[in-house]
Amino acid sequence: MGANQNELLSAAECAGRLGLTIRALRVYEDRGLIAPRRTEKNWRLYGAADIERLTEILALKRLGLSLTRITELLAGTAPDLGQTLAVQQSALSDLRDRVEHGLSLIGAALAKIAEGDAVSINELIALAKETGLADLSPDAAALRRYEQTRREVPFVR
């Protein structure tokens, strides 16, 4: 995960570096998704395994999953950063391909308009379907790939 696998972060440091709130960290702990170490004064300390799990949780949230579904998926399994990053890479590649396709459709329509030609109903429908921003967020295909490849490995601390 980095040069220092033994580095521990406070809740504030962990939340700040990952762009989360301390409350979100508490919610993930309450759901059993993470189990940070504790100091003698009961302060939470987050290590590499916790950061890997949080990366996995955030990736699944970006795919559009609810926290309940994420909890179900990850229950009793160890974090697998490589697998999570591969799914994120695939989802981003798919998104890039969809964006590039949408941009080419828009470019073709703009070229027609610039030449004084009308854009047909079929072309407009294709533009609406292919360039809809609503379709660019949750990636169902990436989620299916994630679910198919997720190994059932007992989560051991």
User: Has residue 18 been placed in a domain?
Assistant: no
pLDDT for residue 130: 78
Distance CA 50, CA 56 (A): 10
pLDDT for residue 148: 61
Which residue type does 121 have?
I
User: Has residue 100 been placed in a domain?
Assistant: yes
For residue 26, give the nearest of 2, 7, 50 by alpha carbon: 50
User: Has residue 68 been placed in a domain?
Assistant: no
DSSP E strands, 19-155: 37-38, 44-46
User: Has residue 70 been placed in a domain?
Assistant: no
User: Has residue 37 been placed in a domain?
Assistant: no
Q: In total, how many domains does the chain have?
A: 1
User: Has residue 107 been placed in a domain?
Assistant: yes
Does residue 10 sit in helix, strand or coil?
A: strand
Tens of pLDDT, residues 55-76: 889 888 887 788 888 888 887 7
**Domain limits for position 114:** 80-152
